[in-house]
Amino acid sequence: MVQSPKPRLLDQVRERCRVKHYSIRTETRYCDWIRRFILFHAKRHPSEMGKPEIETFLTDLAVRGNVSASTQNQALAAILFLYKEVLQLELPWLGDVTRAKRPPKLPVVLTPSEAKALLAQLDGVHYLVAALLYGSGLRLMEAIRLRVQDVDFERLEITVRSGKGNKDRRTMLPRSLVEPLRAQLDRVRVFHEQDLHDGVAPVYLPYALDRKYPNAGHELCWQYLFAASRPAIDPRSGVMRRHHIGEKAFQRAIKSAVRAAGINKPATSHSLRHTFATQLLESGYDIRTVQELLGHKDVRTTQIYTHVLNRGGNAVRSPLDT
């Protein structure tokens, strides 16, 4: 009996990422870093290398590549994933690998007038997504991955599924977005009916739900709320289906809006989430409530916004002054 050839190394990486339910973005980045690591060492197989080769690669990234600490740590995470999850090699030297220390940084926060000016430069779907980042505190990918069923117009509630850390949570739905989102839902319904007529493949469902519920992908409730204007090839399955809008086009729209609004800050889409948290704390809401809405695992992550507010220890008024 002829044995099938062993999968290529990067194909094994992709397969393991999917077994671990990693996102397509994480899968792509891990493959890119592993490829760079192998090419850096003249295409030597990783099983022939170890701690010295890893640290040489990371040092080159920092010194010659001048990458940030977070980028360097992402490269290290990809390489360690290769050794532990794919090659399944024991790593007695794992604890000795030097990890880059990320310096603490304050988030970029917009004032209410700046946030309003930024939103005024956007329209259509890009406006709705940006308004959810600012009005509900969502992360970018949490917003554009919303399904129709995740928005409860009656309870003014949004359910975030499989957010950071693969956790679900609920957050608020601004009243001012109810009607615009209902109109967006009508557009999604038109897309969906057209896809059913044209025989387009059902929407992507996570965790093999398409096998458990074969017809779920054809139901409106599972469609993306911010569906793309046209179907495209699914990078994993290779079939033609309608996905959500692309994050890169949205980020370009935000960059243009920041420039057009005359905002002299390095603001990004994530700055709207920072602004959401800061303004809630300014309004006197409890930090634990803000932590829950943001989906932070540790309240210390949420506490960074108190530094932005200057309400830390340095802002305490002396009893003598009162």
Q: What is the pLDDT of residue 276?
A: 93
CA distance 38 to 26: 18
Using the predicted structure, report yes or no on whether residue 52 has a pLDDT greater than 70: yes
pLDDT above 90 coverage of the chain, percent: 51
Lowest mean pLDDT of 3-12, 32-41, 111-120, name the range: 3-12
- For the segment 220-242, the average pLDDT, to the nearest whole number, is 90
Let me know: does 273 contact 139? Beta carbons within 8 Å: yes
Write down the residue that tokens 């989102």 correspond to.
Answer: 181
Neighbours of 229 (CB within 10 A): 10
Mean pLDDT in residue range 278-306: 87
The residues annotated with a catalytic role in the active site are 139, 164, 270, 273, 296, 305
Q: What angle do CA 107, 21, 184 make, to 5 degrees?
A: 65
* Least-confidence region, from 49-53, 114-118, 156-160: 49-53
Residue 304 reports pLDDT greater than 90: no
Provide the edge-to-edge strand list for the sheet that holds 157-160: 151-152, 157-160, 169-172
CB-based contact 260:250 (threshold 8 Å)? no
pTM of the entire predicted model:
0.80
Closest CA to 201 of 230, 242, 236, 235: 242
- Say which range, 186-195, 204-213, 230-239, 251-260, has the weakest mean pLDDT: 204-213
Domains along the sequence of the chain with CATH? 9-96 (1.10.150.130), 112-304 (1.10.443.10)
